[in-house]
Structure 1
Amino acid sequence: MDDISTGVLFSLLILLLIISGYFSGSETGMMSLNRYKLRHLANQGHRGAKRVEKLLSRPDRLIGLILIGNNLVNILASAIATIIGMRLYGDLGVAIATGALTLVVLVFSEVTPKTLATIYPERVSYLSSLVLNVLMKVLYPLVWFVNGITNGFLLLLGLKVDNMDSSKLNSAELRTIVDEAGGLIPRRHQDMLLSILDLENVTVEDLMVPRSDIAAININDDWKSITRQLIHSAHGRIVLYRDTIDEVVGMLRVREAYRLMMEKNDFSKANLLRAADEVYFIPEATPLNTQLLKFQRNKERIGLIVDEYGDIQGLITLEDILEEIVGEFTTSITPTLAEEVTSQADGSLLIEGSANIRDLNKSLNWNLPTDGPRTLNGLILEQLEDIPDSQLSIEVAGHQMVIMDVSENMIKLVKILPTTLKQTG
């Protein structure tokens, strides 16, 4: 290079620093891209997105190409800087060139382009992919050779590059994406998506109407009692049983019973039993997402939940699962949480013992334990290990609770003290 003027060497050095910055920015831009947005744009036919997605399909080759180019450029830049330094300052110029080049490379070829690529990853990646595609074809033999050595070394460590897929998300990661969507997705839609993700963590036992609250008719009762119960029923379907609810004989549609009433000659116990549908049974540990699919597959809307011994534990409907996703329907017959919780002037809450713990946690942003009893009554009884008297105070999960009413071996009403009252009381 003795025949090349110092001015030309300076020009070459600046060009090499620019190319080095291009490689640095390209690497950061490619790796900073939102893969799901990229895939969406590629599916929509965006050319730049298609090019980038193709390059990222083998990240080991892309990184190999960028690093090969970057290192070749930086080594050549270092050699030129050394020559310029020696021409200007003699032997001392080597140290000066090394220090100066290091600072320039850090600022202009590393930090600045990488920062810009982080801020504008799409713009940088789509433009740089034009050049990288060409370089990949030209330098492919060298890239293949370097990656072969690298992948072989990784194989010795027990890692297979071809099996590394970072694009798959688990439910927890998907939940984070939905949470961070912000204004891109309306809050109500976010809540619905998160509720769908929660279905696999909730069983039918958590949502069921308890055994004691199931609308049911003993077919062995006298005819007048059966007729009266049918006329005053607030439900669309009623369970028919003999003597005990564990002896279920069918699920009767109330409108079918009304039809039989209109045809007086057909209104009898025998015809009620013939009109009843076969009962659909559900194991108590079935996750909600599984049960939703089973309802759809079996074309059912309601089922009775049984334990491992076959005893009836409760009842669940398709509407119960849908309400878990979209919220309570205004036409729901069962009590809503708003009806079970009453705010007091002093900031305390009066809550019925039958209130569902999961509903309380969701509505009031509490953290009551959900791995045991499903109702507030059950939770307090579990803590006390006894049926208490009224006016007994207990602290559960950081909440001061006062038992206000106990009857029929159940806690009917509980008062939850606000934090300020608890601290001063």
Structure 2
Amino acid sequence: MDNISTNMLFTILGILVLISAYFSGSETGMMSLNRYRLRHLEKQKHKGARRVSKLLGRPDRLIGLILIGNNLVNIAASAIATIIGLRLFGDMGVLIATIALTLIILIFAEVTPKTLAALYPEKVAFPSSIILSLLLKVLFPFVVAVNWITNGMLALIGISHKQREHHSLSSEELRTVVNESGALLADRDQDMLVSILDLEKVTVEDIMIPRSELVGIDINEDWKKIQKQLTQSTHTRVLLYRDTIDDVVGYIHMRDALKLLSKNQFNKTTIIRAVRELYFIPESTTLNVQLLKFQDAKERLGLVVDEYGDIQGLVTLEDILEEIVGDFTTTMTPAASDEVNVQPDGSFLVDGSATVRDINKEMGWAFPTDGPKTLNGLILEYLEDIPEANLSVRIAGYPVEIIDVNDNMIKTVRILPDYYQSQHRDHD
């Protein structure tokens, strides 16, 4: 070293710091890569992605290679810095060189390259994978020896290098990924993807047409009345029952009725013969499960029954699809916005029969959904009694004024969400 000039030592020291920065940045870039995007690029036969995937297939060897290189250059840099310090400052040069080199490595070989690699992992990892792949081949025996020792030490505490965390996402984590996709996905696409994930949280009971709103035809009625109901029906599938909906016999598709009409065979006997069997669904069935069941059974609608077999309502394939893509223009069920009327004072007049979940979804409110399904039922459960009109209560922080009560049901309520929001702002 005595024959090497101080200027040359400074040059060598600078090169070693740059090499150290390369190893530090490569390590952070490799470990910061999005594994799902990496797999996508690998499937598209991206050369850089394929090299990186191969290196990450054995992370113990990759880390061993990077740390071997990084420690070698850092130790060499420390030795050269010490020589320079002794030449320039004498015995105090050791202390000065230690402090100066620590700051230089920290700033230029650690924090800066690692920050850059964390921000742009692909731009760092893909090019550096070329050099790392070559170094791995050259230093393979040394890397394997180091890994053999470290893996042996890990084995003593019951850890194997083959044990690694699988990069799988739960539905909640996937929902977060979708919500944070930003401009990569349109808002409507994000809503649809999140709605698909939410299917496992929603049951058929939450979206069914309730029993009180079911429309059907009593086959014990006079034929002329039945014929009138069939010809004026707005549904493609019509329930048929005897006397009450509890004695439902099936449903008839209007296409079948038209065929009978075209053949001049349109009468009560042929209509009953054309009845199709009904499909029954337990009320606790989640939408993701029911969607698959509809597909397997080649059905499009079913009656929802409780644990006693009593009919609670009806759900169709279209109802489930609407949970994903939003309401169709052909739906006969009123939307939440049709049941909520904005008043000049900022309050809202809401139909008591409106579904709590639909109101929350469309209006951005936060009424509890783990109990009764309708606003009427929610208020009755809260009060544990049938109230009189002009009574005010507070549910989930929302001031609710009961406007109209009829036939033991709350028909109309007034809700003041602005007051609720202002209270929360004051609290915050």
TM-score range, shorter chain: over 0.9
Does 2:243 align with 1:247? no
The whole-number CA distance in structure 2 between the counterparts of 1:92 and 1:355 is 83
In the alignment, structure 1 segments of 5+ residues that lack a partner are none
Q: Which amino acid aligns with 2:321?
A: L
The whole-number CA distance in structure 2 between the counterparts of 1:354 and 1:164 is 53
| Cα distance change on mapping 1:370 and 1:159 into 2, 3 Å | farther
Alpha-carbon shift at residue 204 of structure 1 (Å): 0.8
Say whether the 8 Å CA contact 2:398–2:420 is kept in structure 1: no
| Cα distance change on mapping 1:317 and 1:127 into 2, 3 Å | same
The whole-number CA distance in structure 1 between the counterparts of 2:97 and 2:167 is 44
Alignment of 1:290-369 (within 5 A): 290-369=289-368
Alpha-carbon shift at residue 70 of structure 1 (Å): 0.7
Alignment of 1:396-411 (within 5 A): 396-411=395-410
The whole-number CA distance in structure 1 between the counterparts of 2:193 and 2:282 is 26
1:347-400 Cα distance to aligned partner (Å, 9 max, x none): 111111111111111111111111111111111111111111111111111111
Alpha-carbon shift at residue 263 of structure 1 (Å): 4.8
Say whether the 8 Å CA contact 2:402–2:412 is kept in structure 1: yes
The whole-number CA distance in structure 1 between the counterparts of 2:359 and 2:401 is 17
In structure 1, the residue matched to 2:426 is none
1:123-181 Cα distance to aligned partner (Å, 9 max, x none): 11111111000111222233233333434444455544434235211111111121112
Q: Secondary structure at the match of 1:354?
A: coil
Alignment of 1:51-70 (within 5 A): 51-70=51-70
Alignment of 1:124-273 (within 5 A): 124-261=124-261, 263-268=263-268, 270-273=269-272
Alpha-carbon shift at residue 109 of structure 1 (Å): 0.8
TM-score by length of 2: 0.93
In structure 1, the residue matched to 2:100 is 100
Number of equivalent positions: 423
The whole-number CA distance in structure 2 between the counterparts of 1:102 and 1:40 is 40
Alpha-carbon shift at residue 183 of structure 1 (Å): 1.7
Alpha-carbon shift at residue 231 of structure 1 (Å): 2.9
The whole-number CA distance in structure 2 between the counterparts of 1:109 and 1:74 is 9
In the alignment, structure 2 segments of 5+ residues that lack a partner are 424-428
Q: Secondary structure at the match of 2:404?
A: strand
TM-score by length of 1: 0.93
| Identical pairs, percent | 62
| Cα distance change on mapping 1:31 and 1:213 into 2, 3 Å | same
Q: Secondary structure at the match of 1:168?
A: coil
Q: Which moved more, 1:131-140 or 1:199-208?
A: 131-140
Alpha-carbon shift at residue 285 of structure 1 (Å): 1.2
| Cα distance change on mapping 1:32 and 1:278 into 2, 3 Å | same
The whole-number CA distance in structure 1 between the counterparts of 2:292 and 2:348 is 38
Q: Which amino acid aligns with 1:122?
A: E
Say whether the 8 Å CA contact 1:400–1:422 is kept in structure 2: no
Q: Which moved more, 1:7-16 or 1:217-226?
A: 217-226
| Cα distance change on mapping 1:157 and 1:343 into 2, 3 Å | farther
Alpha-carbon shift at residue 237 of structure 1 (Å): 1.2
